[in-house]
Amino acid sequence: MISLERRLQLGLVLSMAGFTLLFLLLGGYTVHRLSEGYVLSRLEHDAESLLGAAHRDGQGRDAVAANRITPVYLQPLSGHYYALKTGDQPPQLSRSLWDSDLPVPALQPGERRVQKVAGPSEQTLLQLSIGYRKHGHPLVVSVAEDVAPLERQILNYQWGFGLGALVLLGLLMLMQRRLVQQSFMPLEKVREQVRQVVNGEQERLDDSVPSEVYPLVSEINRLLALLETRLTRSRHALGNLAHALNTPLNLIAQELDDGELPEALYRRLTGRMERIHQLIERELRLARLAGSGTPGRHFDPAVEIPGLIQVLQGMYRGKDLDFHVSVLPALALALDREDMLELLGNLLDNACKWSRGRVALDMGIEDGVRLQVEDDGPGVAEGDLPRLARRGARIDEQSPGHGLGLAIVQDIVVLYNGSLDFSRSERLGGLCVRVHLPVDRAPAQA
């Protein structure tokens, strides 16, 4: 896909090249016509001089007085020639023609003809023939001049002019390219700011842009603000609803405890109440998820993960957990911070809960974000592993011991169009959870 800047540059280059070529053609044609007009005007003057010098000799033929013509017509092969023709008589030729001939067209008095003919010694002659009447008889005067040297000069001029025009065209192309690049610099600034918004480096676009771009920037900022407002409102609304439901549920639980119900009915009701609490808690967690491409604070593994591990070590102080963490990428990821803390928190909390003392976390940036969490706990039977990865399965109910929090992990992975895989850890012997999130990354902020 060609960029708008390249299209504009290509259009300007083609238009300038077209105008330059047209200018060269028109310039060459104009110079050629002017030169030919100058030669014809001179030939016309010479024809009038020859007409004045023409007279009848003793034999009744037209002749030209040698002392009344330009000496160039007397020099052999000088490039200037004439011929006078009366009726059917042989033409009177200039001495400059030497043994060559000059064709004279048959013209009536008042007629004229301009043509190019081949002259002696491979010369190119521009011939002017005019019909006159003198001494009561029709007379045709033909004057010719070799224009080959003039055409060579014109050709040299055209070549020189063309090379100069090409150099000038090149300079103009460089200038217009520079001007186009400077004109597109505000758009490049907007594109860079969009990238920074995507990577979480800033929340809004700078609106100090040209008037042509301002409506676009303003609309993007409005959409970002609207998205952030709706996300916040949705989180708050679901949170308020969940908290509002917790109060009557707690009251019902108290009444169940105070009431005298059959044991079987009491267990069924309390189990259903517990299930309602679990659903509310799950929806609260889902409400906090943002997903990729939202204007939230992005995730920096090197900053966030050490703090998360400290919290878990405090929660499981009695286990004296040994965490093995790979080298963490020192860059900001285009992932919502709250989402990643929720995902890693659930994975590591589950590993800590069932480990015997060793937990491993590996993180890499390849074609996306890759996470691997392992523990040295009892693990999951091979036959139950496929059920853990099943989308939409209630993992916390189907896999006791390794189900807490894995459902919300699966929801986050689905939200980011990622993949989730469960297996037995070859290194530690417990459960191994692999997560791949195909997201972009951004340079770490200073």
pLDDT one digit per residue (tens) for the chain, 446 residues: 567 777 777 888 888 888 888 888 888 888 888 888 988 998 989 888 888 887 776 666 667 777 778 888 888 888 899 888 887 778 888 888 888 888 888 888 889 999 988 888 888 899 999 988 887 788 889 999 999 888 888 888 888 888 988 898 888 888 888 887 787 787 778 878 887 777 666 777 887 777 777 788 888 888 888 877 777 777 677 767 776 777 777 777 777 777 677 778 777 887 777 777 767 776 666 655 555 544 456 788 888 899 999 988 888 888 888 999 988 887 778 777 888 888 998 899 989 988 988 999 999 887 888 999 999 988 888 877 777 755 444 444 444 444 447 777 888 888 888 889 888 998 898 999 999 988 754 443 33
Contacts of 74 (CB under 8 A, 6+ apart): 66, 94, 95, 96
- Partners of residue 143 on adjacent β-strands: 82, 128
pLDDT of 332: 77
How far, in whole angstroms, is CA 413 from its chain's centroid?
Answer: 33
pTM score: 0.45
How many other CB atoms are found less than 10 A from the CB of residue 352?
Answer: 21
Pairing of strands 112-118, 137-146: unpaired
- In Å, what is the CA distance from 126 to each residue of 25, 82, 131? 22, 11, 17
pLDDT of 98: 85
Answer yes or no: are the C-beta atoms of 321 and 276 closer than 8 Å.
no
- Order of all β-strands in the sheet with 332-336: 298-299, 332-336, 441-442
pLDDT of 340: 87
- Partners of residue 82 on adjacent β-strands: 143
Quote the CA–CA distance of 331 and 338 in Å, as a whole number.
17
The beta-carbon contacts of 167-176 under 8 Å, at least 24 apart in sequence, are 168/20, 169/16, 169/17, 169/20, 172/16, 173/12, 173/13, 173/16, 176/9, 176/12, 176/13, 176/16
